[in-house]
Chain A
């Protein structure tokens, strides 16, 4: 497909379990973003990559959250020892080069439910 692809679409985890969420950006897109959207809220910035370099991780809520993009394409957001407050939709977005807001293409998200 031509869009940003995220998997899995839904993930149910038991509290304390580790999870890994995958994002396949649009081919050739340099910039990649992760956002967290809690129920009834707007998306909140988590982290930003340019190619494989993580340029901003100021939005990661705790050291249980870790993101990587080792080859500058696919990215994985890992959450260790999940807690109920981690339940949210995790959105990935990419842009060709220009990281401006108008240029972001969002995926459909991964809905994480922590029981």
Chain B
């Protein structure tokens, strides 16, 4: 039973446009959500996070939206750049503990110049 799902395995976007990556979860105990970015042959790196007490968190070109009632979060990248091309993982946790992270399967984003 996958508790965190990223239903789109890949997404292609034109440079300068908005990229929207989606994530759904089933466990209502999750109270902290994170996005990680992964380039080939490298480990994931933390990108942005959001606590369940918020519905939006913004950091530069990256914004994460949380809809608790729908158990859905999304990552918006505006404007998208070719360097954003990577695999993006959504992760959820209880108490934001590293040993309680549950990851989604990832979405490969390709930003075309």
* Chain A residues close to B by CB (< 8 Å): 4, 31, 33, 40-45, 48, 55-56, 59, 91, 93, 95, 99-109
Q: Mark B83-111, 1 if CB is under 8 A from A, else 0.
A: 00000010101001111111111100000
Q: Which of A33, A43, A95, A104 contacts B89 (CB 8 A)?
A: A43
| Least CB distance, B59 to chain A, in whole angstroms | 11
B43 to A4, Cβ gap below 8 A? yes
20 contacts between A and B (CB under 8 A): A31-B98, A40-B106, A42-B6, A42-B103, A42-B104, A45-B99, A45-B100, A48-B99, A56-B99, A91-B43, A93-B43, A95-B98, A100-B98, A101-B32, A101-B46, A101-B91, A103-B98, A106-B43, A106-B44, A106-B45
A42 to B43, Cβ gap below 8 A? no
List, in ascending order, chain A residues with CB within 8 A of B93's CB: 101
How far does the alpha carbon of A42 sit from the alpha carbon of B104 in the complex, in Å? 5
Q: Say yes or no: A108-B41 contact (C-beta < 8 A), given A31-B98, A42-B4, A101-B91.
A: yes
How far does the alpha carbon of A4 sit from the alpha carbon of B104 in the complex, in Å? 23
Q: Mark B52-72, 1 if CB is under 8 A from A, else 0.
A: 000000000000000000000
| Least CB distance, A75 to chain B, in whole angstroms | 14
B98 to A104, Cβ gap below 8 A? yes
How far does the alpha carbon of A86 sit from the alpha carbon of B5 in the complex, in Å? 22
Q: Say yes or no: A93-B89 contact (C-beta < 8 A), given A44-B103, A102-B34, A108-B42.
A: no
How far does the alpha carbon of A35 sit from the alpha carbon of B49 in the complex, in Å? 20
Q: Which of A44, A45, A59, A108 contacts B43 (CB 8 A)?
A: A108
Q: Which residue of A lies closest to B42 (CB)?
A: A108
